[in-house]
Amino acid sequence: MSIAAGDVSRGSLRVARYVGVPVGVGIACLAMYVYVGSQELDSIEQRIINWGNVIRAAQEQISISLWATLLTLVIAVPIGIALTRPWARGITPYVIAVANIGQGFPAIGLLFGIYIWLTRNGARATIIGLTAYAILPVLRGTMVGLQQVDRGVIKSARGMGMSKAAVLFRVELPLSVPILLTGVRTALVLTVATSVLGAFIGAGTFGRFITAGQTQGRQLAVAVGALGAAVMAIMADWLAGIAEDLLRPKGL
């Protein structure tokens, strides 16, 4: 069996990505760990930079991001599917406009607004705000993914006697998965990165390192927070990339 040269290079590129990213992130974290260890931390820095806070921040950030992504998928994907159906042609621009509003608000204003008017639970308010933020990319990803499915393939499926629902689930969605997943990946990284704003309303995350450090001039704390937030976003992107590769239907 002959293996095309393209397959080999694509394969090795993939391996490089699978291995390279965590290794790179690990090196960066190790470097920061060694550096912080070598510094004499004053009492304020000790209260901000410690393992307990790092683990708590990571947990909060992961939890908020997962919930927000889940909510986004649950809301945006069905709506995206619905908007690509023929009967929805009229309302599509309005729905897109509403989704645009979520992205148009400056994130921090949105979070404060939700915190004051909807819920005083910082984590929940952040999740709601991030969901509003991420709906647009996932919605668009779903729609574009479905719209780019070859009409000919759909017609032949219908011609074979498949019902509309069957066509949707067994032909359209699988074929739209690559683009849909790209949209989800974008939303996930956006969500993880923006979740740091939750620190302003009591949701913690690595934003806490950044605000506490920046207002008191402790740049090391800011650096640790920034690295933590970046690591979270990069690892989320990495995991999403693996998921993309795994979920891509064979033969595409």
Partner 1 sequence: MHRSLTTARWLALALALVLALAACGGGDDAASDESGGTEGAAGSSEGGGQLLSEAYDLSGVDVRLGSKDFTEQLILGQLAKQAWEATGASVDLTENLPSPAGAREALLAGELDAAWEYTGTAWINYLNNDAPIDDPMEQYEAVAEGDLEENDIFWTEPAPFDDTYGLATRREFADENGLATLQDVADFVEQNPDQATLCLDATFATRDDGLVRFEDNFGVDWPDDQLTEQEFAVIYQSTADGQPCNFGEVFTTDGRIQSLDLALMEDNESTFISYLSSVMIANDFYEENQDLAAVIETITPPLDEARMTELNALVDVEGEFPEDAAAQYLQEEGFIE
The site for partner 1 (CB under 8 A) is made up of 42-44, 47-48, 52, 112, 115-116, 120-122, 199-202, 204, 208, 211-212, 214-217
Return the axis-axis angle of helices 51-83 and 92-104, rounded to nearest 10°.
160
Pick 116 or 153: Cβ nearer partner 1: 116
* 79/77 Cα distance (integer angstroms): 5
Least distance from C-beta 202 to partner 1, angstroms? 4
Q: Which is nearer to partner 1, 54 or 162 (CB)?
A: 54
> In the chain, how long is the greatest CA-to-CA distance?
73
Nearer to partner 1, 122 or 183 (CB): 122
Q: What is the nearest approach in angstroms of partner 1 to the Cβ of residue 31?
A: 24
Q: Which CB sits closer to partner 1, 129 or 204?
A: 204
Q: Return the ∠ at Cα 122 (arms to 121 and 125), rounded to 5°.
A: 85
Question: Are 207 and 217 in contact, with CB atoms under 8 Å apart?
Answer: no
Distance CA 40, CA 18 (A): 36
Q: How far is the CB of 95 from partner 1 (least distance, A)?
A: 32
Q: In angstroms, give the least distance from the CB of 208 to partner 1.
A: 6
